[in-house]
Structure 1
């Protein structure tokens, strides 16, 4: 089961990068982020109150995942577009568990909490 997802949140921990063998082909690369998707509601005093936020693992399967692991950092504000996927599994005590993750198509960096952006020429 999956459904379209678009959400804005903060990266809660350092990105996790993994490679998986793919026969004789290039290995599959995974970048996993733990993101807190908040629901900020404005209050009368100008501050915001978070109502109903949630944590979700965000997986980005891409050949450039290794390079991007240093780009995404804990605390960074991101916009995630992808799909939610239901994972069913059994824990160590043989209890059935259900979790949801987000398989991202795109992860955009939002300009909050960023001191500087540096662009470099694309290498050949």
Structure 2
């Protein structure tokens, strides 16, 4: 079972990068984020109250996942688009468990809680990356 998903939330811990062998092909790369999707409801005093937020694992399978692992940081605000997937597994005591995860197609960084943004051109495959000044 899967359902289209779009949600905004905060990354709750450092991103986790993993690589899986794929025979003689290029390895499959996974970036896993733990995101808290909140439900802010405006209050009369101008503030917000969180009603019904939840944590969900977000999986982003992509060849650029390794470089993206350094881009995403704990507490960063992100917009996730993808699909929810039912994930069945057994815990250490052999009990069957069911959780939901999000298989992301896109994870966009939102401009909240950022001190600065720095961009640079991607070097050609035969060029060395530019040195910091």
Displacement after TM superposition at 1:121 (Å): 1.2
Structure 2 counterparts to residues 20-99 of structure 1, below 5 A: 20-99=20-99
Structure 2, unaligned runs of 5 or more: 125-133
Deviation per CA, 1:91-119: give whole Å up to 9, x if none. 22222210000000000000000111111
Structure 1 gap segments, 5+ residues each: none
Q: Distance in 2 between matches of 1:90 and 1:58?
A: 20
**When the two structures are aligned, how many residues end up with a matched partner?**
124
Counterpart residue number, 2:17: 17
TM-score (norm 1): 0.98
Q: Tell me by how many angstroms 1:122 deviates.
A: 1.9
Q: 2-side partners of 1:94 and 1:26: how far apart?
A: 34
TM-score between the two structures when normalised by the length of structure 2: 0.91
